[in-house]
Structure 1
Amino acid sequence: MSIPQMNEKGLLPVGVHSCTLDEAESVLCWNDHRASLWCKLGDVLNEFRAQSFPRAPLFVDGSYVTDKPIPSDVELLIDLRSADDLIAGKVVLYCQRNHLRLRTDMLVDFYPVLQGGNDFASFFQYVGEKTACTKGLEAKDKKGILRIDSW
Structure 2
Amino acid sequence: MIPPFNENSFLPPGIHSATLIEFKERFVYGVKRPIIFEGLLRLISDLKEIGCNVVYVDGSYVSSKERPNDVDVCWELTDDPAFMLYAKQKHPILFMMKGKRPEQQHKYCADVFPANIKEGASGIMFLDYFQRIRNTNEPKGIIKIELI
The verdict on a shared fold, with TM-score over 0.5 as the criterion, is yes
Unmatched 5+ stretches in structure 1:
130-138
Look up the match of 2:3.
4
1:100 to 99, 102, 112: 102
Look up the match of 1:87.
83
Structure 2 length-normalised TM = 0.81
Look up the match of 1:57.
54
Correspondence list, 1:28-67, <5 A: 28-49=27-48, 52-67=49-64
C-alpha RMSD of matched pairs (Å): 2.1
Higher mean C-alpha deviation, range 101-110 or range 7-16 = 101-110
Look up the match of 2:25.
26
Counterpart residue type for residue 140 of structure 1:
N
- Alignment check: 8 A CA contact 2:55 2:74 kept: yes
Cα distance change on mapping 1:86 and 1:5 into 2, 3 Å:
same
Tell me if 1:122 matches 2:119. Answer: no
SS in 2 for 1:103: helix
- Alignment check: 8 A CA contact 1:92 1:112 kept: no
Bigger helix share: 1
Displacement after TM superposition at 1:40 (Å): 1.4
Structure 1 length-normalised TM = 0.79
Unmatched 5+ stretches in structure 2:
119-124
- Alignment check: 8 A CA contact 1:61 1:146 kept: yes
Cα distance change on mapping 1:83 and 1:26 into 2, 3 Å:
farther
